[in-house]
Amino acid sequence: MSKVVWGILSSANIGIKRVIPAIQAGERGVIGAIASRDAAKAAATAQRFGIPRSYGSYEALLADPDIEAIYNPLPNHLHVEWTVKALDAGKHVLCEKPIALDAAEAQAMVAARDRSGKRVIEAFMVRHHPQWHRVRELVRAGRIGTVCALQSAFTFPMRDPNNVRNVPAYGGGALYDVGCYPIVTARYVFGAEPERAIALVNRDAAGGVDQVTSGLLAFPRGGQLVFSSALKLALYQRVVILGTEGRIEVPVPFTPPKEQGTRIIIDSGGSVDGSSAAVEQLAPVDQYLLQCDLAAAAFRGELEQEFPIEDAIANMRVIDALYRSARSGRWEKP
């Protein structure tokens, strides 16, 4: 089977650091071209990665008939616009998270997918990491009894005021950038949508983006997620799943380095200091590589998408509800 020919939309950092190398290391894809608003930057990036063609505009990339799929890592406010343009140009799309600035905007992707017959996937790489497949298996097998609550944090220091995360007009802010991960993870573990949401937001006085956002989601049958996300705190990420018969802890839940194995801690609660815990060790994998190879298989129609764009819109509805709650001070329904 021939490889899917990808086009890379911009010289985004996440593409350069993770996704371009992942496509190139994978089995299912090859990169045919890259575009930047700056032709020289596109050419330099193409040369660095051995990409055969480069373009000085995004339009030129979409007009390239040899490109079958687009990877869209533009700033958040451009996700919908360029994903829809790519679908309308007859390309499949892997689009970075969060899929849009709100769920209403994201609906345009459904219409574009349906009229183009092409596929569009939100790039939540975490759900392709075997550690989350294993956690879901343990939960479904009842290893910690009935799951009652997830606790999570995802924080890191991004102090550059010009970074897209700190620019309100570009869809900056902690909830869009990192708070989306605890949400997608809780929806994955519970296998359900939250019924209501409440949030507390601390905004950056100067720039206006949310710097620290904490949220509480109520899932069916009493399930809960409580999380904090932040852009100017020290690097930290964690998920703890609390059940009636124990807890599962995932120490590096979202961005485990591809060179390092991961651990899942399972504790039946026999000791208060955690010494009763068992540890499962998983081999190192590149979750971006798995994501891109699975996307390529989905683009070729070889597998059903487990998470269609409607799932991305459901995640977006939760983010919308949390931002609404921060304004209203009340519980909001996604």
Ligand X SMILES: NC(=O)c1ccc[n+]([C@@H]2O[C@H](COP(=O)([O-])OP(=O)(O)OC[C@H]3O[C@@H](n4cnc5c(N)ncnc54)[C@H](OP(=O)(O)O)[C@@H]3O)[C@@H](O)[C@H]2O)c1
Crossing angle of the two packed helices 103-116 and 309-328, in degrees rounded to 10: 170
Of the two residues 14 and 290, which places its CB atom closer to ligand X in the complex? 14
CA 301 to chain centre: 22
Which one of the spans 6-14, 203-211, 262-270, 311-319 is the region binding ligand X (CB under 6 A)? 6-14
232 is catalytic: no
DSSP H or E run through 288: helix 287-299
Of the two residues 80 and 216, which places its CB atom closer to ligand X in the complex? 80
DSSP string, 30-61: EEEEEE-SSHHHHHHHHHHHT-SEEESSHHHH
Output the smallest distance, CB 237 to ligand X, in A: 12
Within 76-115, the residues that bind ligand X by CB under 6 A are 76, 78, 96-97
31 binding ligand X? (CB under 6 A): no
**d(C-alpha 290, C-alpha 23), whole Å:** 9
122 binding ligand X? (CB under 6 A): no
225 binding ligand X? (CB under 6 A): no
- Total residue length of the chain: 334
Which one of the spans 69-77, 105-113, 189-197, 242-250 is the region binding ligand X (CB under 6 A)? 69-77
Of the two residues 5 and 78, which places its CB atom closer to ligand X in the complex? 78
Output the smallest distance, CB 205 to ligand X, in A: 22
Q: Residue 290: how many CB atoms within 10 A of its CB? A: 17
**d(C-alpha 119, C-alpha 112), whole Å:** 9
14 binding ligand X? (CB under 6 A): yes
Among 123, 150, 197, 199, binds ligand X (CB under 6 A): 123
CA atoms within 13 A on the CB side of 125: 23
DSSP string, 87-124: HHTT-EEEEPSS-SSSHHHHHHHHHHHHHH---EEE--
Among 102, 122, 177, 249, binds ligand X (CB under 6 A): 177
Of the two residues 36 and 151, which places its CB atom closer to ligand X in the complex? 36
Return residues touching ligand X (CB under 6 A): 10-14, 36-38, 41, 73-76, 78, 96-97, 123, 125, 164, 170, 177
